[in-house]
Structure 1
Amino acid sequence: MARVFRWLLRLATAFVVLAVLAVATVYYLASRSLPSYDKTLPVAGTTADIEIVRDNSAIPHILALSDRDAFFGLGYAHAQDRLWQMMLLRRTAQGRLSEMFGRATVETDTLLRRLDLYTLAVQSVEHQDARTLDALEAYAAGVNARISEINARSLGRGAPEYFLFDAAIAPWQPADSIALIKVMALQLAGHLEEEVLRARTSLALDDAARLADILPDSPGTGVAALPDYAALAPGVLPRHASAQSPRPPLFPVPARGLAGASNVWAAAPDRSAGRGTLLANDPHLGFSAPSIWYLARMELQSGGVIGGTIPGIPTVLVGRTEALAWGLTSSYLDDQDLFLEELNPDDPEEYRTPDGFKRFRTRKTIIEIKDHAPITITLRWTENGPVLPGSQFNLGDITPQGHVMSLAWTALSPEDTSASAAIALMMSGSVEEALEVSRGFMAPSQNLTLIDDDTVAMKLIGTMPRRDPAHQSRGRLPSPGWIATNRWQGALPYTSNPEFLAPVGGIVGNTNNKVIDRPFPNHVSYHWGDSQRVQRWRGLMQGRKVHTRDSFVEAQLDTVSPVARTLLPLIGADLWYTEETLPEGTPERRRQRALALLAEWNGAMNEHLPEPLIYAAWLRALQDRLIRDDLGPLADAYTHVQPLFIERVFRNVDGASIWCDVRRSAPRETCTDIARLALDDALIWIEETHGSALESLRWGDAHAVTHKHEVLGDVPLLRYFVNIRQTTSGGDHTLMRGVTSGRDPDPFANVHGAGYRGVYDFADPDSSVFINATGQSGHFLSRHYDDLGQLWRRGEYVPMSLDIDLARAASVGITRLVKP
């Protein structure tokens, strides 16, 4: 027995030793790629020495004697901290993810190949101005200098992920940066899926008039009735919906409702307590680890510039100089249209045009797949745009036999000058100059808000498609591509883009709300990203005669839901008060306790309160009960509460209360009946998932954000090292926006919000502040991987100063790139 024990002890000891050695080996290999910020490195390709001062948050302050060297330094810094992220984004644009990840990403690669974004980016390089070409080339040289350093000094392949996914790192090219701008446009584009959902819903509803309930227009002047989709689409279409198509891994097109948002507001000197202009901006994107945003400062010949960059793109996209500050929000411009293309029954390689049948423009492309045979797909383009497969976006549900679907989109241009416009904006010295240079933006379309010393302005930037007044669906539904009046007629002039310059009230802003109501075809959109947050914003802005940096910060972090304040009195109108105290343990008593909590609640979506969870679960259950009976499986596509729909139903606008009646039951249910049943559903769900102690619930437990590593975030054990999880306040309709997933098993998980926040005060520019949601580094062993995350969660910021002495005073390292 003693001998057996000794052998077991030896085996256990050996196992522990091997485990420790394995962990030590992995740590050593991974830590080799940790960048050193304090060094002198000889590099080729610069005109003079470059100094990169990392402040105590590892934000690089790039000091150079020429613009070319400054862009070189930015490329080097990006590659130091975010090489894996950059290469992953480039592979996404190229449709080459499957070379690393196998079959899991074939569908993603297929879409990107069909859109042909990378080819378009290559073609766009020659259309950039000389200054931008020089910046793109210098930036690429800086990235490649870091890659060369990694190879020469055996620095762990530059990122720990490359030990798990073996792939060659090709040199960075100017076209790569333009391709990443196009990927960002794809991540911010949502009208394709809006058209598909509207068409699917139109086919599923027995009463076409009910389409205006479930997909209502934003408040304002109404629009003419649309044709039924079945009347537009010739041939036999299904009158039932298939299940919602799942998102494949690394799919760059976000789910509906997550296609970009943001907040921005600005105040003129007479609305500022310090008599200087103010601007606050928080762009909203999907959360990830690391954040898509990277904070940086460059010293250019035009002066210092500081703000938020995206690794791979050589410009400060949101930020400030000494003379100018700018912010971006999604404009929701309708810059995408789907077209039905009729195939020639005698030759499927031809499609109908206004002038008869014409051959598709085609090209074969090969997708290499790790550990599997490659596949060859044929890319097809019509005069309207690329042909998309029916297997994606549920297009098969709305495409009649003998037809295919193509996409027109402003980003599909081989002459895209958005990169040149972005660099020119960053170097502008005034609002007037910035407005002029921004005419070069094509996609993604944004609302650009600007301040200089004395002026505030907002203008929609990006190409606005010109549509014929006789367009059959006004761009709201897929339309026959062979009818000339449905096709785009070029672009509207930049001067027609909405512009708000030096408004009388002194304040301008946008929460993705409807900004202008022009009749079709000169409209911006029929679909907007917000009709609720703007109400709260308007109240906060008008509630003060003058504003300060701190009042703008307060507005950014505001968690009050105007939807909760509007809808709860409506849906609970006949449920609030019960005279008697009901027996404990009964559904009625549980409902009574929930209503008592909600009756005293002010609508603040605070992470420490129970009421936001009760409210959110009730609204979700209510909408599902209202639409499931009519839409069947299509109800799964409505992942988020539609406030205008519920308000229409409970106010019985145009007979919308008919949604409350369950068609498949004999009794006629009232809206009060459905509200009561939905509350019971919600409380049962809460008890099953969060417990029965309603008063002890915390919204933050359900509304937690997981900044997930896009590749390793689901790997057992490893995910605890690479993911960053935080409980958060806010919700779908608060200014401190944290959009919920809308999908089981965690429907209220925070998945989309402000990965960057900045507030710029021109009364004292160096008191400006900013933050990103995780940290500067993309290396999970770095202390700068998540050091900004807790500040971000608590609503704190770091200084946004152009004073280099402040950066040096607490620097974590200084890198000197010197000529050999």
Structure 2
Amino acid sequence: MKLAKKIGYIILALILLIVISGYVFVELHKPDYAGEKKLPNLQNEVQVYFDEYGVPHIYGQSEEDAFRALGYVHAQDRLWQMELLRRIGSGGLSEVFGKDLIGTDKFFLSLGIDEASKEAVSKLDGNSAGVSIINAYLDGLNQFVEEGPTPIEFYLTGIEKNKFTITDVYNTMGYMAFSFAMGHKTDPLLSNIKDKLGPEYLKDLAIHSDASTVWIRNYKESSKDSIGNSVTAMVTDALGKLKLPLFEGSNSWVLAPPKTKNGKVIFANDPHIGFAQPSVWYEAHVETPTYSKYGYHIAGIPFPVLGHNRDIAYGMTMFENDDVDFYFEENNPDDADQYRLNGTWTNYEKVTKTIKVKDSVAIEFTFKKSVHGPILNGIANQIQGERPISMYWVYTQEENTVVDAFYEISHATNLNEFILALPKIHAPGLNIMYGDAEGNIGWFATAKLWQVPDSINTKLVYEPDNRPNEKREFLKFEANPQAVNPPWNYVYSANNQPDSISGMLYPGYYLPENRAKRIVQLLDPKNDWDKKDISNMILDVNSPVHLETTKDLINSLNSKELTEKEIEVLDLLKAWDGTYSLDNIGGTIYTRWVYQVLENIFKDELGTELFDQLLSTHMLKRTIAPIIETENSVWWDDVKTSDTKENRSDILEKSLMEAIASLESDLGPAIDSWTWNKVHTLEHGHPIGQVEALRSFFNVGPFPIDGSRETINNLGFPFDSSGLYKVSSGPSTRRIVDFSDVENSISILPTGQSGNPFSEHYKDQAEMYVKGKFRKMMMNKEEVQNTANSTLIFRN
């Protein structure tokens, strides 16, 4: 009995020791939001006030001091995220996650992001104001790397902390640039379809934008007074499994004073990015005698990509222009290390790289490069066949001044200064949105655009006898699509096709008109908008295009052959208003039916692999409405039934039957139980949350959520046969700046400000986000100080 008692006491003591140790570990590894810290190289004290959501409000006597503090507080909340993002472009993911990421590392190393970053850094002026601020930010970041607690993810993956360099800043920007490049998914796929099935199968795919859809209008006639006087399937799948953010779309609109109730500009922006935990943006409010900005920062990049102060607001959407081209290279039949260039045989450049692999030996691999770029055969899985294919990417081929551009944008004080910075963004293509306190509004498509010959189809791999000149003629920035203070008193972007400004259209991977049509539908008739109206609009979940497609689906059926259940389902669809609320049923039926239609249209000809690739493209989103409307498309026939030729009505009825059967199987026979909340859910995944035992600790959610693909509140999901629409991308922030009341402008993040799972701000906005709520973006110093949750002081 005494022995049992002793053993009991020992076990109790061990449990108590484990609990105490765990508590101490957690407390030591939380971010420090209060107290005092030494930060070398500071000239003066910096005060950081953290509000109730963990947003730092940083007050310094100089920009260098303030950004040094920003680097530290950014790192203590997001060091793990910084580490992953800098590793992608430099091929360092296998060192963290093992051999499964070797293919992804090979791909990114072959793209040349790391080499382009090093070249750009070598050309920097070390004495420039921008470089000084980058170095100050890195000082603060590296101070945390040296002295701060190690994030738990580093323990779990077994990697060491290492200091960050300016090259890391550029590598992170390079990865973000790649995540815009829809051409990696689309061009090889279209060439494969053409080669496998013939050119007639391309005719009904929405390769180019339809002139009958809603396009963004340009406008350049503005007086001086009015503007002021001063990858691929393989790679994206791997990154998706790691839950790393990929830029996918976005909304923004800016209303001029005549459209608003209070006679001041209202600015709205919600960039659409792949959901991940932590979410992509880190909010920070920085104030010095020469700089004021409430900004949104990418991990490891000092300058805010989105931001505002009392004078100007800016944001972005994706331009979706075509900045990637693929070339068939012609090998020398007598020497595989040579290719034809301008009529002569030229040696390929050979590049050898080393990849460190977790729990294994490092590997070396060698790839070839032509003048156009890397040869992707054997590197990118979707490059099929023996003909060598090279890839030209504007980002790595042209001078890289993107970081300089964001320094200048963030320091602009008026519209003229703002515009001067924009030509420095060569890639990725961005729609930069602008509004200011003086009443100016603007939209600018920023990218290096080139004069495309009429004979060239940029969406197919270029043949040796039909390709652009080796030296491209880039257009001046003035020829880019843009609108400044247009007479209709608003500008917007929803990643849709921009109209011509110089007698030409710009090839791209634009998204369909769905969101654009709804934005224009809402903005045009109303001239008394206020912040509340805009916050309702940014949450809108109605799709007029889906409603039109529903009518086409129903009207194309042979109603005489329908069953009683099918008629009941169609009656419900006829009553649907196109809204994707949690309790709606019409959206569930429509989405299931459309997927079955797409599978029955395309999969018989393409096979599983190419069909899955097609599902991941913007082109397919543009194709859905017009192909359902097209009665005589070559795609309607099911090639597997050689004795019959199916028509549109046959495929639509078959698809409806399959959709109903799958809904009954998944949700039961009662139609009123087929509600959207049962199939449309959002879970914010952390890379380590992919381990099932750690999922509940690192991941946030899942939550039922309204919205859908290509509604304004764009909660998108990959189409597949599962019937579960797990949201993969959506608004990375919802942000509204009202210049009639700047200090009460509003925002929200999808999960929380911190990426540290021990922080109280890891997921404190998640439920607010799902419910469509907002919080204030404070800029008034007195209010900041009086309401601060905690204060952190930095001294030398």
- What TM-score, normalized by structure 2, do the two folds share? 0.91
Aligned to 1:485, the other structure's residue is in SS state coil
Q: Is residue 428 from structure 1 mapped to residue 412 from structure 2 by the alignment?
A: yes
Q: Separation in 1 of the partners of 2:131 and 2:791?
A: 28
Q: Separation in 1 of the partners of 2:476 and 2:98?
A: 45
Q: Separation in 2 of the partners of 1:286 and 1:501?
A: 30
Q: Find the counterpart in structure 2 of residue 458 from structure 1.
A: 443
Give 1:480 deviation, angstroms.
3.4
Q: Separation in 1 of the partners of 2:500 and 2:477?
A: 17
Q: Find the counterpart in structure 1 of residue 493 from structure 2.
A: 510
Q: Is residue 528 from structure 1 mapped to residue 505 from structure 2 by the alignment?
A: no
Q: Separation in 1 of the partners of 2:414 and 2:254?
A: 15
Cα distance change, pair 685–700 in 1 and its aligned pair in 2 (3 A): same
Cα distance change, pair 478–252 in 1 and its aligned pair in 2 (3 A): farther
Q: Is residue 199 from structure 1 mapped to residue 194 from structure 2 by the alignment?
A: no
Q: Separation in 2 of the partners of 1:345 and 1:23?
A: 70
Aligned counterpart in structure 2 of residue 415 of structure 1, from 375, 381, 399: 399
Q: Is residue 557 from structure 1 mapped to residue 539 from structure 2 by the alignment?
A: yes
Query: 741-750 vs 325-334, which deviates more?
Result: 741-750
Aligned to 1:285, the other structure's residue is in SS state strand
Give 1:184 deviation, angstroms.
0.4
Listed as ranges, the matches of 1:147-158 within 5 Å are 147-150=145-148, 155=149, 157=150
Give 1:651 deviation, angstroms.
3.4
Aligned counterpart in structure 2 of residue 341 of structure 1, from 329, 351, 355: 329
Q: Which amino acid aligns with 2:134?
A: L
Contact 1:128 / 1:420 at 8 angstroms: preserved in 2?
no
Q: Is residue 276 from structure 1 mapped to residue 264 from structure 2 by the alignment?
A: yes
Render the CA deviation track for 1:246-281: whole Å, top value 9, x for unaligned.
Answer: 8553369999x9752100001111111111011100
Aligned counterpart in structure 2 of residue 566 of structure 1, from 545, 548, 553: 548
Give 1:15 deviation, angstroms.
8.0
Contact 1:34 / 1:779 at 8 angstroms: preserved in 2?
yes
Contact 2:511 / 2:621 at 8 angstroms: preserved in 1?
no
Give 1:391 deviation, angstroms.
4.7
Render the CA deviation track for 1:417-458: whole Å, top value 9, x for unaligned.
Answer: 111110110111112210111111122110111111211111
Contact 2:481 / 2:501 at 8 angstroms: preserved in 1?
no
Cα distance change, pair 632–112 in 1 and its aligned pair in 2 (3 A): closer
Q: Find the counterpart in structure 2 of residue 737 from structure 1.
A: 714
Give 1:44 deviation, angstroms.
0.5
Contact 1:380 / 1:386 at 8 angstroms: preserved in 2?
yes
Aligned to 1:740, the other structure's residue is in SS state coil
Q: Which amino acid aligns with 2:209?
A: S
Q: Find the counterpart in structure 2 of residue 604 from structure 1.
A: 579
Q: Separation in 2 of the partners of 1:512 and 1:317?
A: 18
Q: How many residues align?
A: 770
Contact 2:541 / 2:581 at 8 angstroms: preserved in 1?
yes
Q: Find the counterpart in structure 1 of residue 563 from structure 2.
A: 588
Q: Separation in 2 of the partners of 1:17 and 1:317?
A: 52
Q: Is residue 175 from structure 1 mapped to residue 189 from structure 2 by the alignment?
A: no
Contact 1:127 / 1:416 at 8 angstroms: preserved in 2?
no
Q: Is residue 621 from structure 1 mapped to residue 621 from structure 2 by the alignment?
A: no
Give 1:495 deviation, angstroms.
1.9
Contact 2:189 / 2:614 at 8 angstroms: preserved in 1?
no
Aligned to 1:264, the other structure's residue is in SS state strand
Q: Find the counterpart in structure 1 of residue 202 from structure 2.
A: 211
Q: Is residue 698 from structure 1 mapped to residue 675 from structure 2 by the alignment?
A: yes
Q: Which amino acid aligns with 1:361?
A: E
Q: Separation in 1 of the partners of 2:465 and 2:20?
A: 65
Aligned counterpart in structure 1 of residue 66 of structure 2, from 65, 70, 73: 70
Q: Is residue 753 from structure 1 mapped to residue 744 from structure 2 by the alignment?
A: no
Q: Separation in 2 of the partners of 1:524 and 1:92?
A: 30
Q: Find the counterpart in structure 1 of residue 530 from structure 2.
A: 548
Aligned counterpart in structure 2 of residue 719 of structure 1, from 695, 700, 707: 695
Contact 2:256 / 2:441 at 8 angstroms: preserved in 1?
yes
Give 1:42 deviation, angstroms.
1.2
Cα distance change, pair 97–644 in 1 and its aligned pair in 2 (3 A): closer
Q: Separation in 1 of the partners of 2:684 and 2:279?
A: 8
Q: Find the counterpart in structure 2 of residue 374 from structure 1.
A: 362
Q: Is residue 187 from structure 1 mapped to residue 179 from structure 2 by the alignment?
A: yes
Contact 1:303 / 1:321 at 8 angstroms: preserved in 2?
no
Give 1:732 deviation, angstroms.
0.9
Q: Is residue 656 from structure 1 mapped to residue 633 from structure 2 by the alignment?
A: yes
Q: Separation in 1 of the partners of 2:520 and 2:759?
A: 41
Q: Find the counterpart in structure 2 of residue 111 from structure 1.
A: 107
Q: Separation in 2 of the partners of 1:246 and 1:123?
A: 25
* Residue segments in structure 2 that go unaligned for 5+ positions in a row: 214-231
Give 1:590 deviation, angstroms.
3.2
Q: Separation in 2 of the partners of 1:370 and 1:526?
A: 39
Contact 1:576 / 1:599 at 8 angstroms: preserved in 2?
no
Cα distance change, pair 758–127 in 1 and its aligned pair in 2 (3 A): farther
Contact 2:266 / 2:739 at 8 angstroms: preserved in 1?
yes
Cα distance change, pair 551–473 in 1 and its aligned pair in 2 (3 A): same
Listed as ranges, the matches of 1:10-409 within 5 Å are 25-26=21-22, 28-128=24-124, 130-150=128-148, 155=149, 157=150, 159-206=151-198, 208-220=199-211, 245=234, 247=236, 249-250=238-239, 260-396=248-384, 399=385, 401=386, 403-409=387-393
Q: Separation in 2 of the partners of 1:404 and 1:424?
A: 41
Aligned to 1:137, the other structure's residue is in SS state helix
Q: Separation in 2 of the partners of 1:173 and 1:658?
A: 52
Contact 1:338 / 1:406 at 8 angstroms: preserved in 2?
yes
Q: Separation in 1 of the partners of 2:664 and 2:7?
A: 47
Cα distance change, pair 481–77 in 1 and its aligned pair in 2 (3 A): farther
Cα distance change, pair 443–16 in 1 and its aligned pair in 2 (3 A): farther
Give 1:23 deviation, angstroms.
6.4
Q: Separation in 2 of the partners of 1:21 and 1:212?
A: 70
Aligned to 1:816, the other structure's residue is in SS state strand
Cα distance change, pair 44–647 in 1 and its aligned pair in 2 (3 A): closer
Q: Separation in 2 of the partners of 1:776 and 1:546?
A: 33
Contact 1:302 / 1:427 at 8 angstroms: preserved in 2?
no
Query: 544-553 vs 597-606, which deviates more?
Result: 544-553
Give 1:491 deviation, angstroms.
2.5
Give 1:93 deviation, angstroms.
2.1
Give 1:10 deviation, angstroms.
10
Q: Separation in 1 of the partners of 2:552 and 2:7?
A: 68
Listed as ranges, the matches of 1:670-819 within 5 Å are 670-709=647-686, 711-725=687-701, 726-745=703-722, 747-819=724-796
* Residue segments in structure 1 that go unaligned for 5+ positions in a row: 223-242, 580-586
Give 1:340 deviation, angstroms.
1.4
Aligned to 1:535, the other structure's residue is in SS state helix
Q: Separation in 2 of the partners of 1:122 and 1:252?
A: 29
- What TM-score, normalized by structure 1, do the two folds share? 0.88
Contact 1:480 / 1:486 at 8 angstroms: preserved in 2?
no
Q: Is residue 639 from structure 1 mapped to residue 615 from structure 2 by the alignment?
A: yes
Q: Which amino acid aligns with 2:485?
A: A
Q: Which amino acid aligns with 1:608?
A: D
Query: 483-492 vs 317-326, which deviates more?
Result: 483-492
Give 1:609 deviation, angstroms.
1.9
Contact 1:353 / 1:481 at 8 angstroms: preserved in 2?
no
Aligned to 2:293, the other structure's residue is in SS state strand
Contact 1:186 / 1:253 at 8 angstroms: preserved in 2?
no
Q: Find the counterpart in structure 2 of residue 233 from structure 1.
A: none
Q: Separation in 2 of the partners of 1:752 and 1:209?
A: 33
Give 1:116 deviation, angstroms.
2.4
Contact 1:79 / 1:146 at 8 angstroms: preserved in 2?
yes
Contact 1:466 / 1:488 at 8 angstroms: preserved in 2?
no
Contact 2:31 / 2:77 at 8 angstroms: preserved in 1?
yes
